[in-house]
Amino acid sequence: METRQPSIAAIGIIGRHNNPLHISLFPSTTTNSSSSPDRPGETIPQHGRDKLEFSFMLNSSLDIFEARMPSKGIGHDFGLLHALDERIAMYGWLLNTGVKLIIVVDMEGASGKAGMGGVNGAGLGLRGGDLTPAFQALQTAYIRLLRNPFYVPDDHDPKLAKEKRGSLQITSPRFIREVERIGKVWYPGISVI
């Protein structure tokens, strides 16, 4: 019996001046059962995701960060920022440097077998700490990026990089691979990524 379970639809790294540093999109998947008899059970992409649409979604969550900042005590986890509909929800995490990590979760994004790891069925949603391992792994990846002597954070700051013609996006292949790995391996209930 196949059920749908939450998966990460997008990960956004937003700079301290609300500029997008990196956006990774992850397609929803389905299990191939009949179209290819020689490869049953293969997970294939169901449909791609629109980068512009998800850029707007990520941008819409920045106001929620700003509204919660004055009342936010010590802690990085901003929890559920907002649910766009019954399927898509956005969660946030704030780093000490002012960089914001946003994970967009598709509540029906991945296929799974009943009884296998994670949450059975999409109607159950996520528990409070389900995304904490993903946020911690993203924070660790960002810290590793900052420790790279060839990465200069000010090159990605729109206020300081006006005279430079380089990209304001993070282009480190190692960082991008790590973000994509985190988005692909996460499932509800995972304890360490």
Q: What is the CATH number of the domain that holds 29?
A: 3.30.450.70
Q: Would 193 be classed as within a structural domain? A: no
Q: Would 47 be classed as within a structural domain? A: yes
Amino acid 35: pLDDT: 47
Total structural domains in the chain? 1
DSSP secondary structure string, 49-94?
A: --HHHHHHHHHHHHHHHHHHTTT--S-SEEEEEEESSSSEEEEEEE
Q: Would 190 be classed as within a structural domain? A: no
On the question of pLDDT at 13 being above 70, the answer is yes
- Write down the pTM of the prediction: 0.81
Structure-token pair, residue 15: 């700079």
Amino acid 2: pLDDT: 66
Q: Would 192 be classed as within a structural domain? A: no
What is the percent of the chain where pLDDT is above 90?
A: 43
In this prediction, residues 44-71 reach a mean pLDDT of: 81
Q: On the CB side of 120, how many CA atoms lie within 13 Å of its CA?
A: 6
- Cα Rg of the chain (Å, integer): 18
In this prediction, residues 85-107 reach a mean pLDDT of: 92
How far out from the chain centre does Cα 160 lie?
A: 27
Q: What is residue 132's DSSP assignment?
A: H
Amino acid 162: pLDDT: 64
Model confidence at 29, pLDDT cuts 50, 70, 90, reads: low
Amino acid 20: pLDDT: 93
Model confidence at 143, pLDDT cuts 50, 70, 90, reads: very high
For residue 31, the surrounding DSSP H or E stretch is strand 28-32
Q: Which domain holds residue 121?
A: 2-185
Q: Would 99 be classed as within a structural domain? A: yes
